[in-house]
Amino acid sequence: MQMLQEAICEKGTVLPNGVLKVNSFLNHQIDTGLMIEIGKEFASRFSEYKIDKVITIESSGIAPSFFAAHSLDVPLVFARKKKSLTLKDNVYTSEVFSFTKQESSEITVAKEFIKENERVLIIDDFLANGQAAQGLINVVKQAGAIVAGIGIVIEKSFQPGRKLLEDKGYHVESLARIDSLSDGKITFLQEDAGITI
Amino acid sequence: MQMLQEAICEKGTVLPNGVLKVNSFLNHQIDTGLMIEIGKEFASRFSEYKIDKVITIESSGIAPSFFAAHSLDVPLVFARKKKSLTLKDNVYTSEVFSFTKQESSEITVAKEFIKENERVLIIDDFLANGQAAQGLINVVKQAGAIVAGIGIVIEKSFQPGRKLLEDKGYHVESLARIDSLSDGKITFLQEDAGITI
């Protein structure tokens, strides 16, 4: 997705530890216009998948999935990373390890918000090792619902997440696929028009 | 706001501890159509306030503030509740105590995303004791920016938050004002058309 790649090139920064920081439009400050286009793009790519619900993880997943759910005319559910007092029982949970934060957290979705046989589109901001997506898949499967597809804003294609998910039979659509962040340089996979900065 | 009051009446539940649960359209599952109308309503109420930026708190503040920022054509920034590895230095922080969760958390905004003299609209999902709004005010003031107004989705008017903020001179706009949750019954303030269920 051209508009997203341009935002990554212009506003993203690569930290010494290989983390791609996109705080200025996705993870902390939000460019709502770009998020709306991202949402429409997800909706377009999954328009034939008979989606009943979009599920993401708080907090960074909410903005890019908001308009996807709206365009597909289905509810959006965000998994919580920690149990709250108003969400004690009747929840599906799964453990997720974050390599960025170097910690495990438990994600939680209230049972009432995923129904058996619902076709669920999972959306997340990043795909690297696939831990967050796998956590959401676990939650969807516990409910007896179906993972109809996985939409990712930024895929680190040099990490194993996509292969892990595809090997399990899931259909993954990533709006930007990054081939390398070596030496602080962002290189996209050739299929994505091959912008290099 | 009629559409919001109807959603609260139809889908909200009052827990025995006086917590109003609106998980089915605001805090966990998101009704994106309603959130868009809420965002437009905030934008309309603050259209003359020369807003430069909207600031909210993850996660439940993101959906209702998304379209407010979009309609006002300004960036949205969400304060994080916990420091992340990619947000270590150069941040403004403030302590926030949550009565619902009975715990303190530190909210964090990167300095680069609030500029001196910017006119900031603070938006949050609930106003009860005013702790979250006060935390955001602290952060805005640390940056030398101006709190141009405070937009609240659901105000518990029987709790001291609004008075606390107004006594300090802030302009507060709440889209639904709840007069009482006694006996599990939701009663709105008379000025809001006085729907009672």
Q: Calculate ∠ Cα B22-B28-B32, nearest 5°.
A: 85
Give B174's strand partners.
B152
Which residues of B belong to the annotated binding site for 5-phospho-alpha-D-ribose 1-diphosphate? 128-132
Kindly state the DSSP code that residue A183 receives in the 8-state scheme.
Answer: G
User: What is the reported pLDDT for A101?
Assistant: 74
User: What is the reported pLDDT for A89?
Assistant: 76
| Whether the Cβ atoms of residue B80 and residue B136 lie closer than 8 Å to each other | no
Distance from chain centroid for Cα A109: 16
Kindly state the DSSP code that residue A46 receives in the 8-state scheme.
Answer: T
Tokens found for residue B47: 């259209």
* H helices present in chain B, as ranges: 2-11, 32-45, 62-72, 131-142, 161-167
- C-alpha distances in angstroms, B29 versus A54, A75, B13? 10, 7, 14
User: What is the reported pLDDT for B82?
Assistant: 76
Closest by Cβ to B28, choosing from A67, A69, A78: A78
The size of chain A, in residues, is 197
Dihedral, CA of residue B45, residue A76, residue B16 and residue B135, to nearest 10: -50
In this predicted model, what pLDDT tens digit does every residue of B29-39 receive, in sequence order?
999 999 999 99
A2, pLDDT greater than 80: yes
Closest by Cβ to A66, choosing from B19, B32, B113: B32
A62's enclosing H/E stretch is helix A62-72
Which residues of B belong to the annotated binding site for xanthine? 20, 27, 156
- Subunit contact A85:B19, Cβ cutoff 8 A: yes
**Residue A194 banded pLDDT, cuts 50, 70, 90:** very low
pLDDT above 70 covers a percentage of chain A that reads 93
In this predicted model, what pLDDT tens digit does every residue of A109-155 receive, in sequence order?
999 999 999 999 999 999 999 999 999 999 999 999 999 999 999 99
Closest by Cβ to B113, choosing from A21, A28, A67: A28
Give A83→chain B minimum CA distance, Å: 10
User: What is the reported pLDDT for B194?
Assistant: 47
User: What is the reported pLDDT for B147?
Assistant: 98
Query: What residue ranges define each of the domains in chain A, with the CATH number in brackets?
Result: 2-192 (3.40.50.2020)
| Average model confidence (pLDDT) across chain B | 93
Residue B86 touches chain A, beta carbons under 8 Å: yes
Residue B13 touches chain A, beta carbons under 8 Å: no
Closest by Cβ to B32, choosing from A30, A58, A69: A69
User: What is the reported pLDDT for A190?
Assistant: 75
Compare all CA atoms of chain B with the CA of A58 and give the residue at the minimum distance. Answer: B59
Cβ contacts below 8 Å, chain A against chain B, sum to 108
B100, pLDDT greater than 80: no
Distance CA(A105)–CA(B128), nearest Å, equals 28
**Residue B197 banded pLDDT, cuts 50, 70, 90:** very low
Give A170→chain B minimum CA distance, Å: 24
Distance CA(A15)–CA(A178), nearest Å, equals 15
Q: To 10 degrees, what angle do helices B32-45 and A62-72 make?
A: 110
* Phi/psi at A64 (5° precision): -70, -20
Average pLDDT of the segment spanning A69-76: 98
User: What is the reported pLDDT for A58?
Assistant: 95
- Chain B residues with CB under 8 Å of A59 CB are 58-59, 62, 78, 80
In this predicted model, what pLDDT tens digit does every residue of A10-34 receive, in sequence order?
999 999 878 899 999 999 999 999 9
| Whether the Cβ atoms of residue B3 and residue B34 lie closer than 8 Å to each other | yes
- Subunit contact A80:B59, Cβ cutoff 8 A: yes
- C-alpha distances in angstroms, B163 versus A34, A192, B155, B190? 37, 54, 11, 17
E strands along B10-142, which residues? 13-14, 20-21, 29-30, 53-57, 76-79, 91-98, 103-110, 119-127
Is beta strand B29-30 parallel, antiparallel or unpaired with respect to A76-79? Answer: antiparallel
**Residue A86 banded pLDDT, cuts 50, 70, 90:** low
